[in-house]
Structure 1
């Protein structure tokens, strides 16, 4: 259990850096495709030998779970989260993606795996819903369609990440193998889209000597190495040790960390309603996790046997 908690702490710090990096990239000369390259190409190259060695294990996983992992953590997720960061501040994105994760994971567990919800968890999830409504009230109240679009993209991103969380749980793949597989597929598709000019790339159209190397190194460190390799391992290890719902609930700490860091970095000071919504989501997620209970009921189902 201790290794699971330590892995989740490391994941929270890396996740916070991930959101800050996305926000920085959304307002730079780099395109979303450029950010995606730093996110997936580096871990793809590092983990490729491991993926090749474990190809039989990957092929034994049903396609639906591999697809769920790719959509929920690969290129589609990054584009959804990156697009949201262009429209809304870090505090909103870091709250609505990891903060609402327990809500979506619990929903999947209830509807697909028939898991019961304790009263403790229901209360926590209800607070998360109120927090979501408080976030949405900021855009709806001021008729800010751009902010509303950002919030809806963040919620979609959270649903995608919940799908990844469940699929990773039942796939039983080694964390680094799963991370390498997702990076490999994402890199192939991304390079194909850039080469065919479907996605614009500042790096592809610029000579290497004119690349913004300082900014690129920051994204490579936070996106490629941090989120792509280290966080992928620590998060999937936490899922294996703590369970999917409890691990998802620990993501509630990410909004607070990322929001505090965004204040000096980007000068983004949330309004009072923003702090209130953030608090509701964080506290609700912690309550829903049952981490203060002696007995943990988070996703006690046995992973389904592959057919």
Structure 2
């Protein structure tokens, strides 16, 4: 019989495959002429069609009428998806590992500071120093190589990291279950975004082939939205938030390397420096055997004071 720790690493492996696949398939959207507007509506629509009947059957709809699922959906659903999917149309997959996944821990710490006044601990300061140094060196090398240090796609990835950082902090504070978090984000994203897409946004579905649309819809609507969310939460339960999160963070960096032969994307010395620096800063290997992160400790203390 498998131990809880072994189960945790199995869930981590599944999550890594899906998150790594997100980087590759999101980049393929640009190659297959599937716009960010289109993939977002396909993703939200399929997830809605799967989850809404389940919630109706379980008579579990009341949580949808609270503000928390709606706010999380607008930030971690609609806003995050549109900016991150759009970014892949401008820059290679390796840039996502650096400016999106690499910056998420930093943006999460900044969100905790501005929303809950949670000061940076020494680990965050060290991580921040490593990341800023890596971005500075990479930008300098890229400017020397191409004449451009920071592109529009990189800016979109950075904005996406900010959205996800805010989403993560709010998710920790509000303590919704994995099921309610995932279902609420998917359903409210569809309710808000699909009508806007149908009425106002440009549509390019006729420019992509049907097999490509079907593959992307199933992968992003089922595996990314539903499966990865549930496996990630199960991994956290068994391994802890920091260890599970650190291992899973490796997935986009691995995907960036895989994209070189698979998609024929360039991997310059500047990008290699950025990947290494941001990877170390995001993973924080010196904290591998540490306990809870400072934000979680602060939130726990805050909740304890409320209960007294």
Q: Please give the range of the TM-score, normalised by the shorter of the 2 chains.
A: 0.7 to 0.9
Deviation at 1:6, TM superposition (A): 4.2
Q: Describe how 1:5-20 pairs up with structure 2 within 5 A.
A: 5-20=9-24
Structure 1 partner of 2:39: 35
2:296 is equivalent to residue 296 of structure 1: no
- The answer (yes or no) to whether the contact 1:135–1:274 under 8 Å persists in 2 is yes
Deviations 1:23-52 (A, max 9, x none): 111232322222113321222111113444
Gaps of 5+ in 1: none
SS of residue matched to 2:83? helix
Give the TM-score, by structure 2 length.
0.83
The whole-number CA distance in structure 2 between the counterparts of 1:237 and 1:158 is: 23
The whole-number CA distance in structure 1 between the counterparts of 2:237 and 2:201 is: 36
The whole-number CA distance in structure 2 between the counterparts of 1:104 and 1:289 is: 20
Structure 2 partner of 1:22: 26
2:226 is equivalent to residue 229 of structure 1: yes
The whole-number CA distance in structure 1 between the counterparts of 2:283 and 2:41 is: 34
Task: Give the number of equivalent residue pairs.
Answer: 295
Deviation at 1:12, TM superposition (A): 2.3
SS of residue matched to 1:87? coil
Deviation at 1:9, TM superposition (A): 3.5
Gaps of 5+ in 2: none
Deviations 1:144-167 (A, max 9, x none): 38x511111111100101111112
CA RMSD of aligned residues (A): 2.9
The whole-number CA distance in structure 2 between the counterparts of 1:6 and 1:34 is: 32
The whole-number CA distance in structure 2 between the counterparts of 1:93 and 1:168 is: 23
2:82 is equivalent to residue 110 of structure 1: no
Give the TM-score, by structure 1 length.
0.83
Q: 1:133 to 1:55 in 2, by over 3 A?
A: farther
2:163 is equivalent to residue 166 of structure 1: no
Structure 2 partner of 1:177: 180
- The answer (yes or no) to whether the contact 1:99–1:254 under 8 Å persists in 2 is no
Structure 1 partner of 2:126: 123
- The answer (yes or no) to whether the contact 1:70–1:186 under 8 Å persists in 2 is yes
- The answer (yes or no) to whether the contact 2:142–2:270 under 8 Å persists in 1 is no
